[in-house]
Structure formats: structure tokens, C-alpha cells
Amino acid sequence: MVEHDDDKLAAYRGKRDTGKSGEPAGDAETSDSGDGGRFVIQKHDASTLHYDLRLESDGVLKSWAVPKGPSTDPSDKRFAIMTEDHPLDYADFEGVIPEGEYGAGTVLVWDQGRYDNLRAGKQSDPKTMAQSLEEGLVEVYLHGEKLTGGYALKRIEGGNEEKSKWLLIKMRDEGADARRNPTSTEPKSVRSGRDLDAVAAESDDN
């Protein structure tokens, strides 16, 4: 076990028994990658199906549950609710969280890649991810396998904390496409090529 000098993951650990759930315990060494970093969008067939958007920042994955998932149409505003910070190695997690555990259900990696913090590159008044999260305006450029281009997260209620309410909006750029509907047409994992049923079935075999 790695000793932690902070309790950023206290909420994560408090909600689950990772020995039973099979999820990462969050013990991996973390490195400070500066601004930008990894992102992942996990499709999570829990009590209600949703997508979890996670952005690496300051050694954890900042996380939002997005009930309808991301859109590539800039006219869509997708509701997102901030959830507890997750450990960095959660970005690799696919599997089934057993019945009775927090978030019980099947998880697959729907999209992944690197992201850039667009606000850090602004000539006037650049903002770090930490400042963006505090202000409630996050602008990132996703380099994913399904999603590319800018996305804005705008906070509409609450602070930089669990259960705050946000909107996830595609920015108008080369990645915008009102006709694409990737959550419907590209349902499978970018890690394993599996759909939710296949992930669940292979978990049953274990």
C-alpha cells in the first residue's frame, strides 16, 4: 500500500470496498502531469445507464456522470453531475461491479485519450484546470478515438464538489457534427472491442 499524503480519494474509498468490487484501490503512484492529461469516458450500466467523463487533474480523475453521454452536436447541452474524484488507474477499468456494491453494474471504456486544457493556452488570463474547476468553466480539447475537438463544461449549480450540476457542450470546431450520434452508433469499448453484454458475460465466466 502506498501512503497518501492527502485525502483527495477519501470519498472514493468511502463509497466502495475495492476488495469486493474489483475496482482500482487508487494505490498507484501518481505523477503530476501539469495541465492536460488523460481523459476517459466510461459507459456504466448501473441502476440507470450513464456515461462517466473523467479528466486527469492534480493526480486524480475529476469526474462527472453524464446521463445521456456526450454529443458531437454543439446545439446539445448534456446535463452532467460532478461525482467523487477517482484514482488515475480507474481510467483502465472495465468489468462488472457486483450487486450490492456502490455503482453495481457493467463498465466499459467507451472513449479514451489525451486532452488539452484550452483555457491554459489563452493569451489573456490563462487558467489552470484547478482554476477552471473553481470558476465552474472547463474547456478541454479531447484527442479521443471517438470524440475529438473542444468541449465545455459549464457549472450551473453548486461549487467544485460532488453533486454540483454542469452542462457538457460541444464547441464549434472541426470535431463538431450534428449528424453523428456516437453513443448510439459506436457503443463498444475502445480498449477491448466489447459491448456491455460481452463485458458482463466474460465477467460471469470468471
Q: Within positions 101 to 160, which residues make up the interface with Mn ion, using CB under 5 A?
A: none
Q: Nearest to Mn ion by Cβ — which residue?
A: 44
Nearer to Mn ion, 44 or 146 (CB): 44
Distance CA 51, CA 110 (A): 8
Q: Which stretch binds Mn ion (CB under 5 A): 37-45, 133-141, 182-190, 193-201?
A: 37-45
DSSP code per residue over 72-105:
S-TT--EEEEEEEEE-GGGGG--EEEPTTSTT-E
- The least CB distance from residue 176 to Mn ion, in Å, is 26
Could you give phi then psi for residue 143, rounded to 5 degrees?
A: -110, 70
Q: Which stretch binds Mn ion (CB under 5 A): 5-13, 40-48, 126-134, 177-185?
A: 40-48
Could you give phi then psi for residue 179, rounded to 5 degrees?
A: -90, -20
- The least CB distance from residue 163 to Mn ion, in Å, is 14
Contact 18, 25 (CB under 8 A): yes
Closest by CA to 189, choosing from 68, 42, 90, is: 42
- The least CB distance from residue 123 to Mn ion, in Å, is 37
Determine, following the binding rule CB under 5 A, whether residue 54 of this chain makes contact with Mn ion: no
Distance CA 147, CA 70 (A): 9
Determine, following the binding rule CB under 5 A, whether residue 44 of this chain makes contact with Mn ion: yes
Map residue 12 onto helix, strand or coil: helix
- The least CB distance from residue 83 to Mn ion, in Å, is 7
- The least CB distance from residue 98 to Mn ion, in Å, is 15
Could you give phi then psi for residue 14, rounded to 5 degrees?
A: -65, -25
Determine, following the binding rule CB under 5 A, whether residue 52 of this chain makes contact with Mn ion: yes
Q: Which stretch binds Mn ion (CB under 5 A): 43-51, 129-137, 169-177, 185-193?
A: 43-51
Applying CB under 5 A, the residues found at the interface with Mn ion are: 44, 52
